[in-house]
Amino acid sequence: MKKDILPAIRLTIATIILFAVVYPVCVWGIAQLSLNNGKGEIIEYSGNTYYSNIGQSFTSDKYFQSRPSAVNYNAAGSGGSNKGASNSEYLDTVKSRIDTFLVHNPDIAKNEIPVDIITASASGLDPNISVQAAHIQVKRIAKVRGLSESDVQKLVDEQTEKPLFGLFGTEKINVLKLNIALDTLK
């Protein structure tokens, strides 16, 4: 053991230089070529910048709602509810979310509400909702904003992101992009 100490310390120093300095600096250097220089992708709209990957809280009737969040979309941290499937307190929360949703969207039936819009995401920062979740909000948005339903529905269709290469994964909608598009519509 004793004779191993010196090589261990010296090799540690050498590998620190390689893996903790050279490697991250290389990645950082190449990141300068990416969008926004590796600081996270942003959208600029009317003088403000937003992170397109970081979800925001949308609760007002004139915007498409985002998913419930265990951290209230505070991107200084992140977190899910971690509630177990059988937790009765949690099921009560879900029930009240359904009721609230129906109050704000009186024109839709309960069995049209997709599960993602009444359950909290894993990160608490989910930027997306399902296509169905946007679809059932079209009537409300059209009414509140005085737009035609077909115009709003067209917007939703335009903002629908297909699965990767049309083959892999889910269909989804970025709520922030959809709502910005909605604001530009009027």
Cα dihedral 143, 66, 111, 94, rounded to 10, equals -130
Q: Give the shortest CB-172-to-another protein separation in angstroms.
A: 5
Report the DSSP pairing between strands 42-45 and 172-174. unpaired
Sequence letter at residue 36: N
| Residues from 99 through 158 that contact another protein (CB under 8 A) | 110-116, 118-130, 132
List the structure tokens of 6.
């010196």
Closer residue to another protein (CB): 74 or 148: 74
Q: Give the shortest CB-94-to-another protein separation in angstroms.
A: 6
Total interface residues for another protein by CB under 8 A: 102
Q: Give the shortest CB-22-to-another protein separation in angstroms.
A: 9
What would you measure as the largest C-alpha separation in the chain, in angstroms?
Answer: 80
Beta-bridge partners for 173: 129, 160
Q: Do the Cβ atoms of 158 and 181 come closer than 8 Å?
A: yes
| Residues from 44 through 103 that contact another protein (CB under 8 A) | 45, 48-60, 63, 67, 73-87, 89-91, 94-95, 98
| Site for another protein contains 184 (CB under 8 A) | no
